[in-house]
A and B are shown apart, each in its own frame.
Chain A
Amino acid sequence: MDFDLMREAFPKLIAAVPATLALATVSLCFGFALALLLALMRVSNNRFLSAFAYGYVYIIRSTPLLVQMFLIYYGSGQFRSFFEAVGLWSFFRDAWFCAILALSLSTAAYSTEIIRGAIQAVPLGQIEAARAVGMSGILQFRRIVFPIAVRLALPAYGNEIILMVKSTSLASTITILEVAGVAKQIISNTYRPVEIFVIAGAIYLSINFIVSRSVMVIELWLSPHRRAERAASPVSSAAGH
């Protein structure tokens, strides 16, 4: 192990962290919004909407993200005249746009299933109670179903956030210099893959440590009854979940 090289490479890799975080956060935001819409389509009684959402999820989940990213990036390049005609080339020309589009579409598919599962897991009794006090469908969803579903979905969604942070490394294959891209570039000049990938791996580890801790805190904050349990029996609090 060449520690001098590692010390030299560290600041360069840290400088690429904002790019990785930007890719992950922007894609997660767009992806979540799309997933919410798709999940509602999925649980709706309209068969066409439900089948469309199911088909989308099925296709995206069954193909590798790398392939999707290549198809969006190089595929759009092959049909430049078409994209120019519809005025979208300025978006597709940009590698960042293509990467965020691919990442958003991917996370949307996985999140759709997480949200659908959570919505369907809301206890029927709660919904019946809401109906009994005369809540309308939308009010029911906003006040009862959605808050409970978010709480149920959070652990699985935390997992999805972690997967997304790691997936951003694929953007390096379409010329974006995020952490993995910068790592490859440094390796290309030093021919020392082990040292550089150790640091890059440690950076992803640290980001995901913070992500998983934050999700745990939010989970606790959204579950007052669990906080009460912890306060009541501090000894067993370490058990967690």
Chain B
Amino acid sequence: MKISKLNILLATLAGAIVLAGPAAAEDRKSITFATDATYAPFESKDASGNLEGFDIDLSKDLCSRAKIECTIIEQAWDGIIPSLVAGRYDAILAAMDINAEREKVISFTQPYIKTPIRFIAPKASSLPQYKVGLDDLTLDDVSPEERAELEKLAAAFDGKKVGVQVSTTAESFMTQFMPNVELASYDTPDNMILDLNSGRIDASLSTLARLKPLLEKPEGKDLAIFGPNMTGGPFGKGTGIGLRKEDGELRERLNKAIGEAVADGTIEKLSMKWLGFDATPKQ
């Protein structure tokens, strides 16, 4: 008992010292990333419990470019931003979309990928037969045609229940653009897909980068993607690494590394490997 208490005390003290005096950014040799390993193909665990996925490979590449030693720890999604602000780790590498709401609290690197958001529903239901009027919706400023398309979509969801993961851009989008559609909030995407398959919810929406690989898996075999490609607005400017606002120097270093990885085709290679299509952000 005594020893374990002492250990906890020492660990707490050590943590406090680290928090109190973070190494000056210029000579920072190591950073800790946080990720939520429930989000395949970006981050998940393999059979032996090791982290794998697009973001995990990306972190190795970026850290060797920036000559920083990196560790990745796990953190539940709903607390991932508050814990970054509280200084429990240095950066969030968890397929996080850069949007205005999050930028009020933290800062982001430039986007390392940009993917559209699509809807998904069971093949057997009527929703996948939805006829899109507009293939692409850019929600930064909504044109009358786009407004009409959104209303048509909302009408298709009349009397249906749409699942979203809590704290996601999908949730912001639904509350902002389809306030009358009934929502169910889930803590993990896996639980949401379970309920989509069991019929508790009628549809869900997520990044194509996640939905496309999902269809290949057993839990996605009865599902189909539908609706327009949605970008911008609540979905933000793409997917980036989240940082504390005051960590400007780290941001510069990671931006430079991401720029190089985009330019030399590393991002394209990784996204073909994990996502099945090229998600490199277009300038």
Residue from B82, B185, B191, B195 within 8 A of A193 (CB atoms): B82
Contact A173 B197 (CB under 8 A): no
Given contacts A95-B200, A181-B185, A188-B166, contact A74 B191 (CB under 8 A): yes
Measured in the bound complex, the distance between the Cα atoms of B166 and A187 in whole Å is: 10
Contact A188 B171 (CB under 8 A): yes
Shortest beta-carbon distance from B202 to chain A in Å = 12
**Which of chain A's residues has its CB closest to B81's CB?**
A191
A77 within 8 A of B: yes
Measured in the bound complex, the distance between the Cα atoms of B101 and A177 in whole Å is: 22
B167 within 8 A of A: yes
Contact A93 B200 (CB under 8 A): yes
As a 0/1 sequence over residues 188 to 222 of chain A, the CB contacts with chain B under 8 angstroms (1 = contact) are: 11011100000000000000000000000000000
Shortest beta-carbon distance from A85 to chain B in Å = 14
Contact B184 A188 (CB under 8 A): no
As a 0/1 sequence over residues 60 to 104 of chain A, the CB contacts with chain B under 8 angstroms (1 = contact) are: 000000000000001011101000000000000101000000000
Contact B186 A175 (CB under 8 A): yes
Shortest beta-carbon distance from A193 to chain B in Å = 5
A42 within 8 A of B: no
B135 within 8 A of A: no
Shortest beta-carbon distance from B65 to chain A in Å = 30
Q: Which residues of B contact A237 (CB under 8 A)?
A: none
Q: Which residues of A contact B198 (CB under 8 A)?
A: 76-78, 80, 93
Residue from B102, B184, B197, B199 within 8 A of A175 (CB atoms): B184
Contact B82 A77 (CB under 8 A): no
Q: Which residues of B contact A80 (CB under 8 A)?
A: 198-199
**Which of chain B's residues has its CB closest to A177's CB?**
B185
As a 0/1 sequence over residues 121 to 132 of chain B, the CB contacts with chain A under 8 angstroms (1 = contact) are: 000000000000
A185 within 8 A of B: yes
Shortest beta-carbon distance from A70 to chain B in Å = 9
A116 within 8 A of B: no
Measured in the bound complex, the distance between the Cα atoms of B197 and A191 in whole Å is: 31
Q: Which residues of B contact A74 (CB under 8 A)?
A: 191, 194-195
Is the contact region of chain A dominated by helix, strand, or loop, or is it mixed?
A: helix
How many residue-residue contacts, CB under 8 A, span A and B?
Answer: 48
Given contacts A77-B198, A191-B105, contact A185 B187 (CB under 8 A): no
Shortest beta-carbon distance from A17 to chain B in Å = 19
Given contacts A77-B200, A188-B167, contact A173 B81 (CB under 8 A): no
Shortest beta-carbon distance from A189 to chain B in Å = 7
Which chain B residues numbered 60 to 86 have a C-beta less than 8 Å away from chain A?
78-79, 81-82, 85
Q: Which residues of A contact B138 (CB under 8 A)?
A: none
Contact A93 B199 (CB under 8 A): yes
Shortest beta-carbon distance from B177 to chain A in Å = 15
B172 within 8 A of A: yes
Q: Which residues of A contact B82 (CB under 8 A)?
A: 187, 191-193
Contact B197 A188 (CB under 8 A): no
Measured in the bound complex, the distance between the Cα atoms of B79 and A184 in whole Å is: 10
Which chain B residues numbered 185 to 239 have a C-beta less than 8 Å away from chain A?
185-187, 191, 194-195, 197-200
Residue from A77, A187, A192 within 8 A of B194 (CB atoms): A77
**Which of chain B's residues has its CB closest to A80's CB?**
B198
Shortest beta-carbon distance from B209 to chain A in Å = 21
Measured in the bound complex, the distance between the Cα atoms of B200 and A95 in whole Å is: 9
Q: A93-B198, A188-B166 are in contact. List 7 more A-B contacts (CB 8 A).
A: A74-B195, A80-B198, A175-B186, A184-B185, A189-B101, A193-B79, A193-B82
Q: Across chains A and B, which 7 residue pairs bring their CB atoms closest together, nearest first?
A: A77-B198, A188-B167, A175-B184, A191-B81, A191-B105, A188-B166, A80-B198
Chain A positions within 8 Å of B, measured between CB atoms, are: 74, 76-78, 80, 93, 95, 173, 175, 177, 181, 184-185, 187-189, 191-193
A-B contact pairs, 10 of them (CB 8 A): A80-B199, A93-B200, A175-B186, A175-B195, A184-B78, A184-B166, A188-B78, A188-B167, A188-B171, A189-B172
